[in-house]
Amino acid sequence: MIKPGLVVYMLLVTSLLLTSAMQAETLPQHAEEAHLGVATCASSVCHGSVRPRSSSSVLQNEYVVWSRLDSHRNAYNILFSEESRWIAKNLGLENAHEAEVCLDCHADNVAHEKRGDRFQINDGVGCEGCHGGAERYLASHTDPGQTHQDNIDAGMYPTDRIEDRAKLCLSCHLGDDQKIASHEIMGAGHPRLSFELDTFDVLQPAHYTLDDDYKTKKWSADHVTVWALGQVEAGYQTLRLIESHLSNGKLFPELSLFDCHACHHSMSDLRWQPQRLTGLPPGSVRLNDSSFAMLFPIARVVAPSQVAKLEEQIKQLHRVVVEKEDVKKSVRALNDTLDTLKASVKKFDKLFDKSKSLLGDVVAIGRAGEVQDYVEAEQAVMAIDLLMRATGEHELHKKWVDQLYAAVEDEDTFDPYSFADIMQSATF
């Protein structure tokens, strides 16, 4: 007999499952729908117009922008390069362009039974790699009256929603529980990955415009809000990676989750100094905590009461990792703080107007010499660049921003002391 308690429990479980399904969209690579291939989207009356069209609600030249300008188009071809050959050889792979481990990030690598007639793996990261398999939405997505939500219900991936977009980009640009650019792959010669959502959104040649029509249909926000939410999402994703790759009981942890330069620098280049945010003794391997660094200026504006907790929890995470304790508790705690921070960013509707104080704060961290690791410097520079554009002072201080970029151009020669000097020379 089914007891009332059990029914309530089952209802609870079902509703929990439903809410989590609503919150976390399945990534295009793992969703149900078949991928029909870029050629299906590319006709000149669909998304293959050479010029943008003004008569339609989308530009319709998406294919041309993607195929001529977007590096995702070349993500597969790059697997034939000298560099890729070298990486594959070092890993003992026959070649890179047939290895799942490379294809998972360098192409739209859906299961073979989910590939339509016109699907070609050599299209690289094609339309459906981001927008989801078109099997169910292809016919209907141009119907009059069809809403964005109707498309999503028919399998289109919600690339406009910030959480889902971040999860999608980060799955390849940082890694997730299904794929990771491991230290083995790095050791074989793969470039180090780094990512910042707003910067990379802007760097990806735009095949859409955030005009008024767009804003009524879809989620959108200013660059500062996208940055802030992107940082929170990168924080979550880093925690997921730590949880899935550092608590598996292996003798050696997954080294790609640590700061590469903690180990990779010349022994005569003595860098150690006490770091307030890690609290670790000399000789420790530090987690790559660059996804957390920019959360401080953000929290100081939107949720000041969370700052001390954030600092304590990050420190705690560093400690449990180094001492090889169970990471789960620390990951959960930090995850909860990220929830609060995210809710505060979303509630804080005028973050853009705070660009000046956010900028001042990032520069102050630099001035204080607290940006010691290369990976954090990289995040600080991208933040300063976009915040200065937001305050409208970018042109005025362009020389100084260029100096910052020059300081992070070469990770092997990055010097935290000269970086702090440049920060101190800011004239605002």
Binding region for ligand HEC (CB under 6 A): 38, 41, 47, 58, 62-63, 66, 71-72, 74-75, 78-79, 81, 83-84, 87-88, 91, 96, 99, 101-102, 104-106, 125-127, 129-131, 159-160, 165, 168-169, 171-173, 175, 179-181, 183, 185-187, 190-193, 200-201, 203-204, 207-208, 214, 218, 255-256, 258, 260, 262-264, 285
Which of residues 58 and 298 has its CB atom nearest to ligand HEC in the complex? Answer: 58
The CB-of-346 to ligand HEC minimum distance in angstroms stands at 18
What DSSP state is assigned to residue 206? Answer: P
Tokens linked to 20: 């989590």
N-term to C-term CA, the chain: 73
What DSSP state is assigned to residue 29? Answer: G
Beta strands in 43-179 (DSSP E): none
Which of residues 134 and 310 has its CB atom nearest to ligand HEC in the complex? Answer: 134
Which of residues 52 and 360 has its CB atom nearest to ligand HEC in the complex? Answer: 52
The CB-of-241 to ligand HEC minimum distance in angstroms stands at 10
Which of residues 5 and 282 has its CB atom nearest to ligand HEC in the complex? Answer: 282
Quote the CA–CA distance of 259 and 272 in Å, as a whole number: 13
The CB-of-92 to ligand HEC minimum distance in angstroms stands at 11
The CB-of-420 to ligand HEC minimum distance in angstroms stands at 23
Which of residues 165 and 315 has its CB atom nearest to ligand HEC in the complex? Answer: 165
The CB-of-336 to ligand HEC minimum distance in angstroms stands at 27
Which of residues 2 and 267 has its CB atom nearest to ligand HEC in the complex? Answer: 267
Tokens linked to 359: 């900028």
234: exposed, middle or buried (C-beta count within 10 Å: 0-12, 13-18, 19+)? Answer: buried
From 229, 262, 228, select the one nearest 354 (Cα to Cα).
Answer: 228
The CB-of-35 to ligand HEC minimum distance in angstroms stands at 12
Rg of the chain, C-alpha, whole Å: 23
Which of residues 192 and 300 has its CB atom nearest to ligand HEC in the complex? Answer: 192
The CB-of-144 to ligand HEC minimum distance in angstroms stands at 15
Alpha helices (H) in 189-327, listed in sequence order: 197-203, 212-217, 223-246, 260-263, 290-293, 295-302, 307-322
Bridge partners (DSSP) listed for residue 115: 35
Quote the CA–CA distance of 337 and 315 in Å, as a whole number: 14
What DSSP state is assigned to residue 34? Answer: P
